[in-house]
Amino acid sequence: MTDSTPTRLGDRGARRVEVTDAAGQRIDNFLLGELMGVPRSRVYGMLRRGEVRLNGGRVKPNYRLRAGDVVRIPPWRGPMTGDAVVPPRRLIEALADRILYQDSSIIVLDKPSGVAVHGGSGVDHGVIEAFRAMLPDERGLELAHRLDRDTSGCLVLARHRGALLELHAAFRDANVAKTYDLLVYGAWPRRLRTVRAPLEKFVARSGERRVRVQSDGKAARTEFEVVETTERASWVTAHPHTGRTHQIRVHAQVSQHPIVGDEKYATEAQLAASRALGVRRLCLHARVVTLRIGGGTRRFEAPVPDDFTEAWRQLSGAQIKLNDSR
């Protein structure tokens, strides 16, 4: 295990921390480890407002630390480790039952729909907080990637710093492959196999964070394949070649076939139609993740959930219009 404990230069009020073995770690993740129990949203607020200083200046959340950097960590007068909101026991036990694989380096989880991967934005806790409560001695436990709150399926966690760096390198070097299952409104054309559309994040007038296609956005490519289709709905698989936020959701929308239950990108008419059939989830499931790490290849699969297959049964037999784009 890599020791990422820094040299502490002061412990009263604001303190300065000189980086030693934490070199290479993103500063947001570093701060989350240093401020155990502080809400994630508060940590990002500290960075945004310039309360955190790096070598005397402001710093962005994605900055990777270097040996010798000095980080000013602001005082925190709210709850710390001992007073932090503890994830409910039922969540911890439910997630423990959904572990697909674990060894000394990684945990692969079949995340249920509706559970956030981390706290923040009105959510007190998520997967990472639950696993930190489950494994309190593993200070290096981190998410290797993200899934949207309402997306189910394979989620990979790193158990120590070395594993996290290896996984990040695998994602960066395209040594990770994912297969998603999704249900979409309408009949997906079998000829539509590849969607290339650059994406950018933006904040809507409501304050909601969303993603849209933009000519000068970040390049994004998704391969789609039809599993089964009707006039009203289609079961499709997706293979993203890039890892942009909401990539599959927006690429489905721009193809005129939003994902069933997508409250950000489907129309109100589409949502109303699927709700009338009893569909209450985002029908997007990360079924397979393949990791090429450590000189070998590991493949993990999360079975398609019962509520997903039930949604397909209802949708494929529906007698109401599902692809109303109004």
State the catalytic residue, choosing from 69, 148, 150, 181: 148
Structure tokens at 56: 């005397």
Q: Is 148 annotated in the active site?
A: yes
- 120: which residues sit within 8 A by CB, 6+ positions away? 39, 40, 41, 44
Answer yes or no: are the C-beta atoms of 212 and 202 closer than 8 Å. Answer: yes
Half-sphere exposure of 144 (CA within 13 A, CB side): 27
Going by DSSP bridges, is the β-strand pair 233-240/176-185 parallel, antiparallel, or unpaired?
Answer: antiparallel
Any idea what DSSP says for residue 82?
G
**Residue 183 CB neighbour total at 10 angstroms:** 28
Going by DSSP bridges, is the β-strand pair 284-293/152-158 parallel, antiparallel, or unpaired?
Answer: parallel
Element (H, E) at 86: none
Answer yes or no: are the C-beta atoms of 285 and 305 closer than 8 Å. Answer: yes
Helix (H, G, I), strand (E, B) or coil at 220: coil
Full DSSP string of 39-73: -HHHHHHHHHTT-SEETTB---TTPBP-TT-EEEE
Answer yes or no: are the C-beta atoms of 230 and 184 closer than 8 Å. Answer: no
Answer yes or no: are the C-beta atoms of 191 and 313 closer than 8 Å. Answer: no
Answer yes or no: are the C-beta atoms of 43 and 35 closer than 8 Å. Answer: yes
CA dist 254 → 66, 148, 262 (Å): 41, 19, 13
Annotated catalytic residues are 148
